[in-house]
Structure 1
């Protein structure tokens, strides 16, 4: 196709018009719109530039399915990004039009992989962005690594991304094209110890970690660190997503008198577990219920009714973060308020995370010097140092190559004050991994 367009672009305007008005079988391969552009310009230089100066960015996230909470706000964030990019992206003295091709994985890892391959092979994206959970990010990253397409991702423990895809401790990174930024086990460890020491407990922690990339990474790396800090980890073993009966796990937690509960479940699984835990009397002895993944978003907590009040969580972004988006210029409060006004729904921490991915991606494209050169973009990602909506992204200071760690801060879901628009308020209770984020409230015991 590129050769045919160049052929028409090299003609005089009269010859181009003849080809377009009297197409041969070969000429029919050129789209009418592009041909008309060549005719209108009468200049092969302008036409060639128009054909090559469009950047295609893939954006893959779970908008529907079991992980839909992670993608719920992406439509709004993408709208802001597209508006910010309406005038194009300036790189090395040239202005490139930017087309963001967003795709919904439907929370299916196989679909995520296929979407990535289609964006790579058919749409020929220049940069891939993937966000939220190993079920989305790992298959997309693998497809990009195999095809030699630069890929940037966020929102999953970096250990599950790095080691979960075959990298080995102490060995060189096997990845040339894929990069990930955000929290890891170290950040969870700091946050949980800081958060759990705010309330007096017996330091017995009942953990419910699933048999998936998140759960296995947390079990292997976080649990031993917590044990070294004096917490007794009571682990009934991995469970499969979709489990409906948690009686055995609940009985163990009750028998061991676990006053702290910690889990990394998908929403349907936690709802089933927590309701059974209430029915069987376990929730009455819980002083701290610390829930990752499901505990991130208001919809999942609100669905629990009174059982959702005082559940502790952790935020990889909060509207209290004191950073602005370099791409759109909006602050955290502006982003959250804008979303609520546009959607009628409560803001979620995913707003800032998805925005930060677009921030970092656009900064890497600008730093590449030539965003149509995939190797240059990959090199720019590996050297990227910038500040996004979530704070600092620095791939030169990571614990391993291809990774930039990020903060996660202690939070809690509390009942909103009378007259509030929403039933729950999401407050910051500690900030060990980023002291620049202001603490808003004191952690309450679950049963207070």
Structure 2
């Protein structure tokens, strides 16, 4: 891919390309990113923010990157995306020599899953997120809150990337959970979408499982919960790391599958963080989003906003913002207090990575909204209040 030629306008205005899912199955993930782009465009003089739809597919993501680089002259690429789309954006940028910044994807999957090693890190692509080990530590806190140490935990993991990386013996969820003293029961991974969980339920009963952990879609989680109830398996707690960033939607047939499921908390209006751009607080951002869209705030909103904070910082501190190598070097040197918390690429677990702190939460019946995310356990996010108690799943 050829890099666009510089002209006088490009020197004065740096273009930030944004790959957004506006159609397809990831469109809800695109909502907070689109909102953050619209909100921040007038607050970032000297930057031109241009988006392209990934259509929620890897091919669409690659096409969006090419259009943003070749047609719009993008100097840096931003994205929030899913299991197939985010790597496609990052890999296309790595091949093209264009700096890229992304989030909402466990860092081990982003890093090792794309082929990087300690001896061979990426040159152009950077990321901030939590890790699979952070998920395991957070969930172990929740398991122990309902039953103490040494829980027998049933794993509802698929045969795709979520399950494969969760059970990875070196970089996954499994070793971190075992290190906390918990015994994990992991039947064979299931194919999505699942048609049934008889094998899992049988194994969980035989092994005395009293807690279930999952990376299932909402549909598969609902199928499992209905089947478990029919067979009399009632775990003391269900934890799930996937599709729980969004508020549950009540259904005509009863409770949504996410109700009373414990999950990750990575951003809320109560987080004690401010924008590095204009001082906006997390609470003010959530309120502005709800007022503008009419929709309940979403956890990815804080990370979407932070993408633009880091991009603006990198372009402002780069020796030459029109030089991709200078922008990449600025990303690698970034230490910044953002609305998503402190981000530091100089001391990450590996090169190219900054981490996000996690707390434990649960979707519970709310007051302002049908379901609200209660922070029920927190020892890793200083200043974030606990505002609920764990309740057993119905």
What is the TM-score when the length of structure 2 is the normalising length? 0.91
In structure 2, relative to structure 1, the CA distance for the partners of 1:114 and 1:279 (3 Å cut) is: farther
CA pair 267-301 structure 1, distance change in 2 beyond 3 A: farther
| C-alpha contact (below 8 Å) 1:156/1:214 kept by paired residues | no
Residues 308, 154 of structure 1: CA spacing in aligned structure 2 closer, same or farther, 3 A cutoff?
closer
Distance 1:179 1:357 in 2: 11
Name the structure 1 match of 2:299.
349
Question: Which whole-Å deviations, capped at 9, do the CAs of 1:245-284 have from their partners, x for residues lacking one?
Answer: 22322332233332211111233333333333334433xx
Whether 1:330 aligns to 2:273 is no
SS at match of 1:197: helix
Match of 2:142 in 1: 195
- The separation in 2 between residues aligned to 1:393 and 1:350, in whole angstroms, is 16
Greater helix fraction, Structure 1 or Structure 2: 1
Larger Rg: 1
Tell me, what secondary structure is at the counterpart of 1:411?
strand
Counterparts in 2 of 1:302-313, with a 5 A limit? 305=255, 307-313=257-263
Residues 301 and 308, structure 1, Cα contact 8 Å, conserved in 2: no
5+ residue gaps, structure 1 = 7-47, 89-95
For structure 2, the residue ranges without an aligned partner over 5 or more in a row are: none
Residue 236 (structure 1) aligned with residue 187 (structure 2): yes
| Residues paired across the two proteins, number | 385
The whole-number CA distance in structure 1 between the counterparts of 2:327 and 2:382 is 32
Write out per-residue CA displacement over residues 193-249 of structure 1, whole angstroms, 9 at most, x where no aligned residue.
222211116711111222333332221121122122221111112222322322322
TM-score (normalised: structure 1): 0.80
- SS class of match (1:321): coil
SS at match of 1:134: coil
**For residues 84 and 379 of structure 2, what CA distance do their matches in structure 1 show?**
28
Matched residue, 1:185: 132
The alignment's C-alpha RMSD in Å is 2.3
Runs of 4+ in 1 over 6 A off after TM superposition: 301-304
TM-aligned CA deviation for residue 402 of structure 1: 0.8
Q: Residue 443 of structure 1 aligns with which residue? A: 390
SS of 1:386 mapped into structure 2: strand
Q: 1:345: Cα distance to partner?
A: 1.6
Deviation at 1:293, TM superposition (A): 1.6
**1:301: how far off?**
7.5
Q: Does 1:268 align with 2:219?
A: yes
Change (3 A) 1:116 1:80: same
Go from structure 1 to structure 2 and tell me whether the alpha carbon gap of 1:340 and 1:278 turns closer, same or farther (over 3 Å shift).
Answer: farther
Would you say the 8 A contact 2:76–2:99 is kept in 1? yes
Instruction: Tell me how far 1:142 sits from its aligned partner.
Output: 0.4
Aligned to 2:40: 81
1:18-75 Cα deviation digits (max 9, x unpaired):
xxxxxxxxxxxxxxxxxxxxxxxxxxxxxx6435322111112333333333223223
